[in-house]
Amino acid sequence: MRCVKENLYFWGANGIYRTTIPGRPICISEIRLPKLIKDEDTDRSTHRIAFAYDRRRKGILITLTRKGVVTITNSNYWLDLRAVDEAANPAIFPESYPSEVSAFSAFFYEATSPSYRRLMLGGQDGYLRFFDDDAKNDDAGASGDVLIDSYVTFGPIAMAEDLRSTGKLTGLNCITAGGGIGGSQSDSDDITYKIFVAKSAEEILEKLYVGTNPAIGGTIKAPG
């Protein structure tokens, strides 16, 4: 569990909870991740669960590391406190790291120098690591570097106000993020996109899960 200001966050019977003291616990993952507990299948005898507040990146990192197996695996969730809904619940982003980086501990290092104040993760290989916003690869220890792969889903989006009508996509205007010329901010790498169409939202979700046979797809070139 982790206390941030007046809120206490913890892992419970139905997922991720937030509460105040005194207060009533609220499950903040039941809408966004209704199958979280079933999918993770965590148990104190087989998993190491850690919560840590990152003062630098303004969020809470939850690490779920499976122990006692030949190949240690991990499943992690980033709670972004900069992006909250109308109920003050943070956005939840799933993450996974190379096996060697599987975190067994997490601690925010309050260094004298601001540049060294970072959330430190204790990996299963015995090394301490931190997050670098400029890095494009994860350090996987003896296995070398692993390219970071990120994704985002928009939709399903209705193409017409009347469900009996049909819509048509006539264009796609995408602007990649990045800094100005000569600036210090890094630019985005190329972005691969896929657009799926179907008669219902349920069919769209099925196609997204499989990830094959999009109606259209391609690559958006970026300067990164």
> For residue 88, is pLDDT > 70?
yes
Average of per-residue pLDDT across 184-195:
81
pLDDT digits 0-9 by tens, 98-145: 888 899 999 999 999 998 999 999 988 889 999 988 888 888 887 788
CA atoms within 13 A on the CB side of 10: 12
Same-domain status, 63 and 140 = yes
Same-domain status, 141 and 159 = no
Same-domain status, 114 and 195 = no
Same-domain status, 165 and 125 = no
Same-domain status, 33 and 125 = yes
Please give the model's pTM, rounded to 2 decimal places: 0.81
Lowest mean pLDDT of 3-7, 13-17, 167-171, 175-179, name the range: 175-179
pLDDT for 1 equals: 65
For residue 9, the surrounding DSSP H or E stretch is strand 7-12
pLDDT digits 0-9 by tens, 5-57: 788 999 999 999 999 888 899 999 998 899 999 999 988 888 999 999 999 99
**Domain final residue, candidates 101, 125, 147:** 147
Same-domain status, 10 and 111 = yes
Of residues 211 and 65, the one with the higher pLDDT is: 65
Domain limits at 28?
2-147
Same-domain status, 143 and 190 = no
Average pLDDT, the chain: 87
Q: Is the dihedral of CA 207, 40, 86, 82 positive or negative?
A: negative
Same-domain status, 57 and 122 = yes
Same-domain status, 65 and 84 = yes
Average of per-residue pLDDT across 196-210:
87
* % of residues, the chain, pLDDT over 90: 41
End-to-end CA distance of the chain: 38
Domain count, the chain: 2
Confidence of residue 152 (pLDDT cuts 50, 70, 90): confident
Same-domain status, 40 and 128 = yes
Same-domain status, 183 and 111 = no
Of residues 143 and 183, the one with the higher pLDDT is: 143
Same-domain status, 125 and 200 = no
Dist CA 169 CA 218 (whole Å): 15
